[in-house]
Every structure is written in structure tokens, then in C-alpha cells.
Structure 1
């Protein structure tokens, strides 16, 4: 993203994106921070016994909190210039927690699939030790993979998330991000979710229990698709712009607006995860007052338990 590229002017696009970014990101920051802080307190203090699921949810809430804490810096330095090293840190913090969330959500889905497909083995293997090791591995890998941001970031003062060097938009790097950061996790999510739905529909358990489980699976998949699909499509299109495959000015302006809006949409995942916590974790429902709020909301009233 640049303000001016040749004869193509992006000033009005950036101004519109800035207005929307502030209008959506500030409520997202406040609501998301409250909900995820509440979730962390419930999972850490009130969960009767730590399990694999609770460990994954603690790490997902932690990733959401860290991403939310980076939002004020992102908002400020997207309109004001900052040293290149500071920009690199803000950008790496943002992307680490985004992809950390993606991989942890995938782990929760796979764990649920194992428990449904192999119920006896799944229930017997609920020790949090493996979940802790997996989460540590995810954090280590995402931080390691964010290191190119420090290399590719221009050294002079600039606006963060703008004017990344051409190396950052190289085809091999973007293809790697798309495949390993989104397409593989998406494939696993879709496969495991479809299998989970099929198993539940053919399982002779109580109707209410089946409905609750189906609701959790569908909410988790929909949130993943809505929050992360647009931003990865936008990254792919922006790469084509930076590689001069797309040269039409109006199309470049549309893509510039799209990538900025899709990043705003991805941030909403931090708030939507709370809906997943509510339906997936009994302790979260019992220790919070969200049930009363959801019961009064017409959208969720048929789903309230």
C-alpha cells in the first residue's frame, strides 16, 4: 500500500480506510479486551481441572489480547511515521498473534474431531501436557516466521503497514504465507468440521447435546471463514499489484481499500471468539453473565442454553 504510485492516487482511499479503521477498531479494542480478559480469568481461575481444551482456549484468548493491545499502536502509526524497527515490531506482534490464533483454532477443531472419532482414546488423553507443548511450538514457529518482517522493513521513518519493501511481496514468500498460513489450516478446518458434523448427525445421543455440539462446530468454522478468508485473498491480490500483474489504476485502488478493510474484519475475530467460548465451555457460561445478554439478543435467543 502506498499513497501515490505513478499517476494513481491513493489519498482518498487511505482517508476512507482510516475513517473506517478508527470507527470499527476502537469498539473492537474495548469489547474484545473486556471479553478476552474475562475469558482468561474464567479459564485460569474457575476451570475445575485444566484440560487440553482449556489450555488451547487460554492461549487463544492470550493471542487475542496481545493482538488487541497492538491495535492502538497500529492505529497511531498507520497515520503517523515511526522508526523502521518500531514498525517491524508492531507488524510482527500483529501477524504473530493473527497466525497464532489461526493455528490454535485449528488445534481445537482437530482435538474435537479426535474426541468424536475415537471417543475412548480422546477422553483418556485429556492431559494438558501435549496441549502446552503444541501451543509452545505454535508460538515459537510464528515468532520465527515473523523474523523476515525485520529484514524487509525499510529502515527510515514511515507509516506502519505501508510501504513494505518489494522483498516482502515476493512471490515465494506470499505463496508460503497463503499455503502454510491459510490454505492448509483451512483444509484441516473444513475436513474436521465436516467429519464432526457427519459423526454427530449419525450419533444416537440426546438431541440437545447434539444441537449444542453442532452449534459450536458451525460457529467456529463460520468465524474462521469470515475473519480470515478476505484478508488472505486481499494479500494475494496485493501481491499481483506489487508484481505489476495488475496495473489498472481503479483496480489497484479497489484492492488497496479491500486489503485495509479485510484487516479490520480479521480483527473482529478477537470479539467473535467470545461467542465460541460461550457455547464451547460450560465454565465460561456459568461464571459470566453473557447468558443473560445472549438470551435478550434476538439473534442468539433461539441458541441460548
Structure 2
């Protein structure tokens, strides 16, 4: 049954949908992330822990965006067997950009949680040097963690579609469990918990104040930039894993899952544009003429709760 299951209709539909999604994502994403780098690196002239993390996020997003033209080309064109090493490199960089963005967003949430809920310890735990080291560590970790996607030793005897035909090695249970747990569930849990505690701390400090509202908007924008694109993506990866391991065998179900996975992966790339919400609020915060107001109010609240 699985041998006779044709995905031609799904692939034909996705060729059109990918153009509709990727072209505006690429254009707006490149513009917004380039502008973000200009603002953070040149115009603001004020490096903080937040701007360092946001700069790293913009770099991750740009890496992801630069691969979209290759994905569009690979969807519509078969690559020759000799292109497999280059394809493997592109696939690896794609996952570096994706999971690098995920962990950078999580680090932003943790950094804010420390600043809001533990303002006195923040003097020890937060610094520009620490933020820079964390960002470098993120690059190193995601490069190492995504290395299993490399398949330089695998030989192709026929033409193939890059980004669409992962080997059996790429769907190994241990790898998928690691991706789901370490790549999504754990970061999502940390992000949600830190965000909820941070929002609670802000609202306790000065409920309804302008600075509090700005802080809440920053946190909600980070949650949106994470949960909206990445949740469907990882649900789709799990469903496709069930298909690859023949847990799901019905042809119609397999077609629907194939469509869902490809569409979810396309939509996951809109995080490159959603992150612009974070850029806007962070830049507004850094340019604020009263940067200490929120910090002072949180310290007062913390001191009161400790006594």
C-alpha cells in the first residue's frame, strides 16, 4: 500500500504554496533583519545584554533566510547526485539557523527573568561579556548538535530533491527524540515558565505603568515569535516520524501528514519576520530616556517581598 501511495498532488500544491510563502518571507525578512543589525550595531551605539542577544538572533535569521532561495530551487528542480555534499551542508546550516534562533529566544527569556525577578543577583549573572559568551556557545552547540544531518558519505545514484529526501539515518528514533525534547519541548517549557514569572513580576511592580506595559509587550512578542512558527513544525516532525517507522500506514493519512509537514516547515520560516517584533520593542527600550525606572520599581518590589 505504501509503495503505491503517490504524493504528486501534494508536491504540486507545495510548489505553489512555497513560492507564496517564501518570496515575501525572504524579502521582508532580509530587509527587517538587515535593518535590525544596522540599528543595533550602528545607530543605537549602546551595547546591552539585550542588544547582544538580538544581534545574534538577527544573524541566525539571516542565515536561515539566505537558504530559502536554495530551498525554492530544490523544490522545483532535481539536483544531480554529485550535489549531495553541497545539499548536506545547506540542510545542516538550515537547522543551525532554526535551532540557533530557538535557543537565542530562550536565552533572551532567561536573561529577562533574571533582571526582573532577581535584580540583585543580576549584577553578577548579567553582563555584556557573559551575553557574548552565551551567543558563541549557542553557535557551537547547534553546529555540533546538527552534525548528524551531514551525509557526506552517502552516495546518490539518481537525481534528488534537496531538503525533501532525508536519509533513514535522519529519522532514527534517538535523533527524533532528541530533536523533539532538546530542540523544542525543553526550550518551550523554559521560555513559557520564565515568561510567565517575568510578567507576574512586572505586574506586581507597577501595575499599569508605561514601563511595565512595554516589558510585557517584549515578553509576549518573544513568546509569539517562538510558539507560532515552531509548534506546528515539531508536531509535523513527530507525525512524519510515525510515517517513516510505519506506525501510520494509511495512504490518505500519509498524504495529509506530508502536506502538513511541508506547510509547517514553510511557516516556521516566518519566525525571521516575527522576530522583528522583538527588535522593535528592544530598540524602543534601549532608546528609552528613563531606563532605570523599571529596574528601580522591580528592586523595590523584590525588597518588599523578601522582608
TM-score > 0.5 by shorter chain: yes
1:167-222 CA-to-partner distances (Å, cap 9, x unmatched) read 21111110011101101100100100110111112113661111111111112112
Q: Which residue, out of 161, 166, 169, partners 2:168?
A: 166
Q: Which residue of 1 aligns with 2:25?
A: 28
Structure 1, unaligned stretches of length 5 or more? Answer: 287-305
Q: Which residue of 2 aligns with 1:267?
A: 269
Q: Which residue of 2 aligns with 1:296?
A: none
3-state SS in 2 of match to 1:202: helix
1:114-166 CA-to-partner distances (Å, cap 9, x unmatched) read 00011233256543111111111110111112221113884324111222111
In 2, the alpha carbon distance for the partners of 1:154 and 1:73 equals 20
Q: Which residue of 2 aligns with 1:227?
A: 229
Q: Which residue of 1 aligns with 2:94?
A: 94
In 2, the alpha carbon distance for the partners of 1:253 and 1:152 equals 29
Q: Which residue of 1 aligns with 2:76?
A: 79
Q: Is the 8 A contact 1:60 1:101 kept in 2?
A: yes
In 2, the alpha carbon distance for the partners of 1:137 and 1:179 equals 19
Q: Is the 8 A contact 1:153 1:165 kept in 2?
A: no
Q: Which residue of 1 aligns with 2:293?
A: none
Deviates more, 1:142-151 or 1:174-183: 142-151
In 2, the alpha carbon distance for the partners of 1:123 and 1:264 equals 41
3-state SS in 2 of match to 1:8: coil
Report 1 or 2 for greater relative contact order, CA contacts < 8 Å, sequence distance ≥ 6: 2
CA deviation after TM superposition for structure 1 residue 112, in Å: 0.3
Q: Is the 8 A contact 2:40 2:283 kept in 1?
A: no
In 2, the alpha carbon distance for the partners of 1:208 and 1:283 equals 11
What TM-score, normalized to structure 1? Answer: 0.88
Q: Which residue of 2 aligns with 1:44?
A: 41
Structure 1 position 240 matched with structure 2 position 242: yes
Backbone CA RMSD of aligned residues: 1.9
In 2, the alpha carbon distance for the partners of 1:80 and 1:285 equals 47
Q: Which residue, out of 192, 201, 204, partners 2:203?
A: 201
CA deviation after TM superposition for structure 1 residue 280, in Å: 2.2
In 2, the alpha carbon distance for the partners of 1:113 and 1:135 equals 17
In 2, the alpha carbon distance for the partners of 1:33 and 1:53 equals 21
What TM-score, normalized to structure 2? Answer: 0.87
Q: Is the 8 A contact 1:39 1:284 kept in 2?
A: no
In 1, the alpha carbon distance for the partners of 2:269 and 2:32 equals 14
CA deviation after TM superposition for structure 1 residue 81, in Å: 2.3
Q: Which residue of 1 aligns with 2:116?
A: 116
Structure 2, unaligned stretches of length 5 or more? Answer: 289-307
Q: Is the 8 A contact 1:238 1:259 kept in 2?
A: yes
Change (3 A) 1:153 1:142: farther
Alignment coverage as a number of residue pairs:
283
In 2, the alpha carbon distance for the partners of 1:240 and 1:70 equals 27
In 2, the alpha carbon distance for the partners of 1:70 and 1:153 equals 22
Q: Is the 8 A contact 1:88 1:153 kept in 2?
A: no
Q: Which residue of 1 aligns with 2:13?
A: 16
